[in-house]
Amino acid sequence: MPIAPAMRFRFGPKECADLPQTLIDPLDTFTVMWHIHAMDRMNDDAAIKAWTTLLGTDRVLTGENELGRYQRNVSGLNRRITAILKPDTVEQVQAVVRIAREQRRPIYTISKGKNWGMGSRLPVRDGCAVLDLGGLNRIREINAEQHYAVVEPGVTQKQLHDELRRRNLPMILNVIGSGLDTSLIGNALDRGVGYFAGRGDALSGMEVVLGDGTLLHTGFSRFPGAKTAHVYRHGLGPSLDGLFQQSNCGIVTAAAVELLPWRDQHLSMIAKIDDPAKLPALVEALADLRRRDIVRMVVHIGNRHRSFSTLAPLVYQQLKQNDPDAGDAELRERAARLLEKEGFGPWSAVAGISGTPAMLRAAAREFRKAVSPIASVTCLNQKKFETAGRILNALSFLPAMRRKKIVVDAMHPVFGLSYGIPTNEALRSVYWGSGEPMPGADEPLEPDESDGGVLYCLPIIPLSGKDAKAVVEATETVFGRYGFDAYITLNILDVRSMEVVISLAFRRSDAGQTDKAHACLKELQEHLLALGYPPYRIGIQEMDMFVDPDDPFWRTAGAIKDALDPGHILSPGRYNPH
């Protein structure tokens, strides 16, 4: 029985899609689908008109160039987006959500859109309007006594760091190495790992817009004037904060982030092994130091490709300053050769500690005792770092000293991370890994605008040398089969677990290489999962791979989504079946 015209227009897209097939004449299927598409377009137009009335024409972007800028991404993925929405108040976010629900148009939320290697600013599914919260960029409070700052999602590492220094407050951030302009809240909601600790548990007192526009406050922050709103995250009753991490159940518009005390004394302990077979022993030695509380910060253990991709671009910049007429290929070769001469072995570890001079001396003594039988050890503090720079500068007329000075100068931004100083310099690794010409010292670093490609695989593994060896061997085997170098970092998070950061570099302009890179990463994810090492974060292209709607866990997550976002308009498909 064909559907009468009046019936067709009475149904929205979802209802038409859900009609029993027996009601649709085979010859009329195209007509039904055409009407579904037409009503989608009508709803898009109505939503965009309402959003424009709310926000203004300058903050609802639909032009091809504007959409294209948001669609470009370092992972080489493609998604269709309908509009860019740029509110700058919480009330506007609530209104945007209400319009989206009324018009049944999905919106995909980003903070700053710097989720490089995992999808950047792109939604999981086609047809979303991107809700860009970069305009919500207010630091609402800094509490020096209790060591927290209440920030909105548009607040960046640089912004909060600069404000702490402007006020001369004795606190630092738990920084990450992926850029000055990354969102503090956005990274923490995806459970990112900072230089000092994981960030996921450092949020408290969230302010959240739900799928009907309701404003929710979690923990004690729902009690007006509560002095404990941001010092005890669970509050009274069920702890709801976890519902909004790696989920699409609400839009976090503010939260408190934990700040760390500034320590005048800091020590970086560096260990290098000369044989990859020593990696398990190195991991076990560092694990013992962590379990004995000698080392409390995240310990970073990088392979040669990782160390080179971090330091070589910085050495490149130093060489470029000394020889501005040298070509890109020549400078790349000289930078790699220089690092080889400085003895960067197959794996290098960096552990940091802050405290009193006596604490640092004791930690250095224990570190040397545990690690020296396996690796060469160097301990650096700020004073030694500065002294080395002055001595090497005075002796720079000697080729060997000049070479060492270049490396020391290149290491300065990386060393600054251990003091909570954010930097953009690590972004140069994207250009280095893909073989793309390096930007100049004063040029902007925008990985999404480059030809460099990056994909990440991020498993969590037990803190053991045996498991580290298994993951490294599996990664090198799969990457070798596809012809890619494996960039690997093992980050000791606590006394039981390690984060593994595996990155794959490729050229996005080469369609064949891009396809091969995605196939390689997919195979690695499947292989590691079979070995018992699932990822703790995934890219937008992997949601369907890991989110199984038949799994009781994801069915439960879907039921929670139904309750908090009954219209399924918030970031559909992000860590959720809906």
Domain ranges of the chain: 5-132, 137-261, 264-438, 451-539
Place of tokens 């000698």: 294
pLDDT value of position 29: 47
pLDDT value of position 281: 98
pLDDT value of position 440: 80
Distance, in Å, from the CA atom of 562 to the CA atom of 571, rounded to the nearest integer, reads 13
HEC string of 531-559 equals CCCCEEECCHHHHHHHCCCCCHHHHHHHH
Amino acid 296 reads R
Q: In what order do the strands lie in the sheet with 139-143?
A: 139-143, 148-151, 251-258, 203-209, 215-217
pLDDT value of position 7: 30
Into which CATH architecture does domain 451-539 fall? 3-Layer(aba) Sandwich (3.40)
Backbone phi, psi, residue 372, to 5°: -55, -35
If one counts every other C-beta atom within 10 angstroms of the C-beta of residue 103, the result is 19
β pairing state of 81-85 and 128-132: parallel
The alpha carbon of residue 286 and the mean position of all alpha carbons in its chain are separated, in whole angstroms, by 25
Amino acid 391 reads I
- Bridge partner list, 220: none
CATH class, 137-261 region: alpha beta
Q: Radius of gyration (Cα) for the chain, nearest Å?
A: 26
pLDDT value of position 84: 98
Place of tokens 């606190």: 171
pLDDT value of position 264: 74
Residue 554: C-alpha distances to residues 63, 176, 511, 537, 561 (Å):
37, 30, 34, 15, 10
Q: Which CATH number fits domain 5-132: 3.90.700.10, 3.40.50.620, 3.30.43.10, 3.30.390.30?
A: 3.30.43.10
Place of tokens 């076990």: 284
Backbone phi, psi, residue 216, to 5°: -110, 140
Distance, in Å, from the CA atom of 65 to the CA atom of 559, rounded to the nearest integer, reads 38
Residues 6+ apart with CB under 8 A from 348: 270, 271, 272, 273, 301, 302, 307
HEC string of 152-218 equals CCCCEHHHHHHHHHHCCCCEECCCCCCCCCCEHHHHHHCCCECCCCECHHHEEEEEEECCCCCEEEC
- Same fold yes or no, 264-438 and 451-539: yes
End-to-end alpha-carbon separation of the chain, Å? 32
pLDDT value of position 35: 47
- Bridge partner list, 178: none
pLDDT per residue, tens digit, the chain (578 aa), is 333 333 333 334 444 444 444 444 544 544 544 444 555 666 788 999 999 999 999 999 999 999 999 999 999 999 999 999 999 999 999 999 999 999 999 999 999 999 999 999 999 999 999 999 999 999 999 999 999 999 999 999 999 999 999 999 999 999 998 889 999 999 999 999 998 888 988 999 999 999 999 999 999 999 999 999 999 989 999 999 999 999 999 999 999 999 999 877 888 899 999 999 999 999 999 999 999 999 988 999 999 999 888 888 888 888 888 888 888 888 888 888 888 877 678 999 999 888 888 888 999 999 999 999 999 998 887 676 667 667 767 766 666 676 677 777 777 777 788 778 898 888 888 888 888 888 887 788 899 999 999 999 999 999 999 999 999 999 999 999 999 999 999 999 999 999 999 999 999 999 999 999 999 999 999 999 999 999 999 999 999 999 999 999 999 999 999 999 999 999 999 999 99
Q: Which CATH number fits domain 264-438: 3.90.226.10, 3.40.50.1370, 3.40.462.10, 1.20.1630.10?
A: 3.40.462.10
Amino acid 570 reads L
Distance, in Å, from the CA atom of 16 to the CA atom of 385, rounded to the nearest integer, reads 68
Distance, in Å, from the CA atom of 117 to the CA atom of 110, rounded to the nearest integer, reads 15
